[in-house]
Structures are given as structure tokens and as C-alpha cells.
Structure 1
């Protein structure tokens, strides 16, 4: 159920909120059946809070997601 939902979002811009409150926005590149996701063209939502993360461009997330939202 969740896998097919996330699979439909591939290619769209999403925001991933991790358990440590770090929010990352980027294009959903891929998702697997374990809900591990890969984001491209990423940026940290609150760059003032996480200045050391300002140069990330590709992120792999392994089910430590707290929330997910997508751009309208």
C-alpha cells in the first residue's frame, strides 16, 4: 500500500522530515519495497539550523522518516 503510493511520487518534489527534525526537500528519484528512498537535487529546508548540510545534492534515506510531504 505505502510502496505504491511512494512509487507514484517518483519524479515529484517532496520534503522528507527525519526523526532528528532535519527536513530535506528534493526530487524523489526512487523508492524500494522497504521504503528506502533516494532524493536528487536536495536542499535542507532550514539551512540556518543546519549550515553544515548546505552542500548536499543526493540523499539516500533508510526508513528513518518522520514525515513526508510533496509540493503542490
Structure 2
């Protein structure tokens, strides 16, 4: 659940979503759920010449199962907070495993 919570902090930031079919879409993240279903607004397809049929599209809903990568703006990522959360989650998992 850590990554779902992390993505929620990026709402209203510009991200680039790379799909499994190699299309890259840049837009403002409006929502994301636990399945990585993503809603982007004010989109721009990075290789518009290759995908002209997408030039008129302004908003998209992307099913999580077709997402390869989500490229994040470096300024929007609080690495210290993310590292701390990752350590806490790992410690909780280790404690749970130890209990049986």
C-alpha cells in the first residue's frame, strides 16, 4: 500500500505514463487507485507524429494493467519521506514474519 499512498501525494502534479505498447503520455495526474488506474488531464502524447489519432484527446483514463512506468517529476518526490516509509513498512513486515 506504500506506493498507492505515495502516488496519492502526486495528484495535481505533471507525470509521464509509459504504456506497455510504448506510448508515452504526459499530463496532470488527477486520480489514482490501488490498482494503478490513472486519470490524466491536459494530456500530450510525446510522439504525436507516431500517434496522430491521440492529438485531439485531452483527458484519459489508463487502466493499471497497461502501465509500464510512471515517470515522476524529481521536485515532487520527497525521497527522505519515501525512504522512511519504506523502512517502516519493511520493519513491520519483518515483525509480522517473526510472529509466524
Q: How does 1:1-72 map to 2 (within 5 A)?
A: 1-63=2-64, 64-72=66-74
For residues 47-70 of structure 1, give each alpha carbon's deviation from its aligned partner in whole angstroms, at most 9, with x where no partner exists.
Answer: 011111111111101111111112
Give 1 or 2 for the bigger CA radius of gyration: 2
Aligned length: 72
The unaligned stretches of length 5 or more in structure 1 are: none
Name the residue aligned to 2:93: none
The normalised TM-score by structure 1 is 0.92
RMSD value, Cα: 1.0
Runs (4 or more) in structure 1 with deviation over 2 Å come to none
Q: Which has the higher strand share?
A: 1
TM-score, normalised on structure 2?
0.68
Distance 1:33 1:52 in 2: 29
Higher relative contact order (CA 8 A, sep 6+): 1
